[in-house]
Amino acid sequence: MLSVAEARQRILTHFQPTATEIVPLIASANRALAKNIQATHDLPLFDNSSMDGFAVRAEDTHAALLTLSVVADIPAGSTPQVTLAPGQAARIMTGAPMPNGANAVIPVEDTDFDSRSAGTTAPQTVSFSKKVNVGEYVRPRGMDLRAGEIVLDSGRRLTAQDLGLLASLGIAQVEVHKKPRVALLSSGNELIPVDQPLESGKIYDSNTYMLTTLIQNAGAETLHLGTAKDTRESVAELLEKAVAEKADLILSSAGVSVGAFDFIKEVIELQGKMDFWRVNMRPGKPLAFGEYRGISFIGLPGNPVSAFVGFQVFVREALKKLSGASDGSRLGSGDAARSNVKVRCAEEITSDGRESYLRAILREENGVFSASLSGQQGSSNLLSLTQANALLIIPAGVKCVPAGQEVQAIFL
């Protein structure tokens, strides 16, 4: 049976970044940049005040107590028309351009001007006893960055703060990779959509809702194919929909095990091929990978926890590669499994020797994460998954981890 690492490797080599498109800035969040972004101008664009106060000539302030005449009022968004002569100051607001001749700002708090509420007009004169140095409370042009600088690298998944920076550079459109489109199907005669009445022997389809959310959090789009019945015809019909939709990936859950009604593998092989269909892991052994009419196919197990773990371990990485995001790039705001960290087991943990992903609760104690299992570890048990904040990874070949030993964990 394939190891998790081999299976992941085999899956990942099949995926290449999607084509690129130019989108309005607001639509680029969480998508991967297709090109480096070069600053089109300096930031800030002009010398401006970092405080509400008075623009002055620093050399004028070196007397003990000083009164300057206020010759202009410069709100943010205006263009100053004056050049300060010796003995002159201008009232200035935060973000307003510095007038010619001025080289420092005295905050209003450090002056005798005490009407500081909105709507007050500038005084005739202003007095202060503090000496200021050249450049104080001035944000000089180009202080943050210079025109021509590369500010964001290609492959970066754009964050909220990145969008802020791009907007401040006046970049209204961005070239990003297309969102990967995932054709999702569940399978099984027993499945009922959540808004329908239950019938005897049936269960609610939970995977569709869980997987749709995981797909969205990974920055991809879901095309819902629906639920296949346990017949060859029904499976084939849904797979054809994925082909018609030109999906980037077909993702199914259930029907890839060794049950008498697990037809998915067989139908895939009629018009495609299976690369593998079992992985040496727990939960999640019946995990299939192949291709159907030119579209990559990943078949997750049916049990909800197995499907979740299979997604975290294989599908997320595949979607990241499809999305054009570079390796170091974060996986997006809603992304669940963000980091691999070392944690300490608070209790002895046993495993069956397959690479195991166990639901655990991490607690931080003196800067160290201590992990205890979050309850039942059966592959259908979603409650303990909702209670977990991490998956502990017990390596293949290890059957017992004593309390106090460190293991790798995926944060949820």
Cα–Cα distance list, 249 to 5, 173, 204, 252, 267 (Å): 20, 27, 25, 10, 16
Stretches 21-29, 248-256, 277-285, 346-354: which one binds Mg ion (CB under 5 A)? 248-256
Distance CA 188, CA 191 (A): 6
Decide whether 113 or 263 has the Cβ nearer to ligand AMP.
263
**Minimum CB–partner distance for residue 234 and Mg ion (Å):** 12
- DSSP letters spanning 241-263: HHHHTT-SEEEEESS-SSSTT--
Helix axis angle, 264-271 to 232-244, nearest 10° = 50
| Contacting positions for ligand AMP (CB under 6 A) | 186, 188, 190-191, 203, 205-208, 253-255, 257, 259, 262, 301-304
> Which residue lies nearer to ligand AMP by CB, 84 or 268?
268
Distance CA 397, CA 410 (A): 19
Cβ-based nearer residue to Mg ion, 130 or 261 = 261
DSSP H or E run through 48: strand 48-49
Chosen from Mg ion, ligand AMP, none, partner binding at 257 (C-beta under 5 to 8 Å by type): ligand AMP
Residue from the set 70, 238, 254, 349 that interacts with Mg ion by CB under 5 A:
254
Stretch that binds Mg ion, among 76-84, 250-258, 315-323, 388-396 (CB under 5 A): 250-258
Q: Which is nearer to ligand AMP, 97 or 284 (CB)?
A: 284
Which of 180, 149, 167, 172 lies closest to 37 in space, CA to CA? 149
Q: Which of 36, 35, 30, 33 is nearest to 331 (CA)?
A: 30
Q: Tell me how far apart the alpha carbons of residues 252 and 262 are, in angstroms, rounded to a whole number.
A: 12
- 107: which 2 tokens? 């905050």
* Consecutive H or E run containing 319: helix 316-322
304 sits near Mg ion (criterion: CB under 5 A): no
Nearest-CA neighbor of 182 among 213, 228, 158, 206?
Answer: 213
Which CB, 259 or 334, lies closer to ligand AMP? Answer: 259
Return the structure tokens found at 234: 């029904």
Asked if 80 interacts with Mg ion (CB under 5 A), we say no
Cα of first residue to Cα of last residue in the chain, in angstroms, is 27
Supply the DSSP string of 88-133, one letter for each residue: EEEEE-TTPBPPBT--EEEEGGGSS----STTPPPPSEEEE-----
Distance separating alpha carbons of residues 226 and 303, to the nearest angstrom: 17
Min dist. Cβ of residue 349 to ligand AMP (A): 25
CB of 291 to ligand AMP, least distance (A): 20
Instruction: Please report how close the Cβ of residue 276 comes to ligand AMP at its closest, in angstroms.
Output: 16
Residue 253's binding partner among ligand AMP, Mg ion, none (Cβ under 5 to 8 angstroms by kind) is ligand AMP
What's the closest the beta carbon of residue 211 comes to Mg ion, in angstroms? 15
Q: Which is nearer to ligand AMP, 64 or 260 (CB)?
A: 260
**Residue 207 φ/ψ, nearest 5 degrees:** -60, -40
> In whole angstroms, how close is the CB of 187 to ligand AMP at the nearest point?
6
Nearest approach, Cβ of residue 255 and Mg ion (Å): 5
Residue closer to ligand AMP by CB (options 53, 301) is 301
Q: Which does 186 bind (CB under 5 to 8 A by kind): ligand AMP, Mg ion, none?
A: ligand AMP
Residue nearer to ligand AMP on the CB measure, 254 or 267: 254
Measured from the CB of residue 264, what is the shortest distance to ligand AMP in angstroms?
Answer: 9
Binding partner of 205, given ligand AMP, Mg ion, none, CB within 5-8 angstroms per partner class:
ligand AMP
- Report which of 293, 287, 292, 328 is spatially closest to residue 310, judged by C-alpha positions: 287
Question: In the range 174-193, which residues lie near Mg ion by CB under 5 A?
Answer: 188
Residue 191 binding: pick among Mg ion, ligand AMP, none (C-beta 5-8 Å cut-off by kind): ligand AMP
Smallest distance from the beta carbon of 190 to ligand AMP, in angstroms? Answer: 5
* 53 touches Mg ion (CB under 5 A): no
Binding site for Mg ion (CB under 5 A): 188, 254
